[in-house]
Amino acid sequence: MPNHAMSQASFPEMYERWLAGPLFRPWAEMIIEEVALSPGDRVLDIACGTGIVARVARERLGDAGYVVGIDVSSDMLAVARAVAPSIDWREGNASALPLHDGEQFDVVVCQQGLQFFPDKPAAAAQMRRALAKGGRLAVATWRSDDEIPFFRELRRVAERHLGAIADQRHSFGDAAPAEALLRDAGFHEVRLTTVSRTMRFQDGAPLLRLNTMALVGMSAVGREMGDQERKRVVEAIVSESAPALRPYADGSGLAFELSTNLATAEG
């Protein structure tokens, strides 16, 4: 695996290079199908990261499409800008969206961001404010990793080194709180579904390394480590994960089931 390339790239660059295509694009396409874009729709992508959902919306709407992506991380946005300079990327917090006076959208999407927001009611209120009357909302959050054997088994290997890890990426997996959050924010026609898909990685090694780095970063023990110690633990977990990955081997790559909640609503 291209270890040298990964150790030189920033996390947002690795996210874009190794995860955006195989892991996030299929779901971005699903979300954009779900909101059924029409020509002229204004689209807001909250917690856009490196911008995969906004970019899929732009592909569908063409150059005339009005697409805005907002994220709290300037580093993620720097990659988004480099990949798609013509989209309006804005730095800001989901609980205080940087919108112009009276600015509203026909479509608001948030893919795998809500679980990270410390103030979810404030973020839901901001989504409501941003959505025009009759507009469409779609929000996706991964199911708990206890339901996703691939990620559960990899977490267990990491926990042998780090103790219990609360994986924030899978921390908003129940449908009921997501549904209540959107209803309480004043959305109409709130619907929650669970969608499962088989994810395929031609080369599973970058996914394993990035997932391991994320797990170490989310563990209390990992956060206390110096750089050298953290690198050593990442290497140890990566090599010990090989047996856990064996059931998912698919040629030279990996195939595994992943599931998400998909909430849709109207303004």
What is the binding site for ligand SAM (CB under 6 A)? 20, 24, 47-49, 52-53, 71-73, 76, 93-94, 111-113, 116-117
Q: Of the two residues 123 and 161, which places its CB atom closer to ligand SAM in the complex?
A: 123
111 or 241: CB nearest ligand SAM: 111
Q: Which is nearer to ligand SAM, 56 or 254 (CB)?
A: 56
Tell the smallest beta-carbon distance from residue 124 to ligand SAM (Å).
12
Contact in structure between 60 and 37 (CB atoms under 8 Å) = yes
Q: At closest approach, how far in Å is the CB of 78 from ligand SAM?
A: 12
Shortest spacing between CB 95 and ligand SAM, in angstroms? 6
User: Least distance from C-beta 75 to ligand SAM, angstroms?
Assistant: 8
Closest approach of Cβ 131 to ligand SAM, in Å? 17
Nearest residue to ligand SAM on Cβ basis: 49
Q: Considering beta carbons, is residue 49 or 65 the nearer one to ligand SAM?
A: 49
Smaller CB separation from ligand SAM, 52 or 130: 52
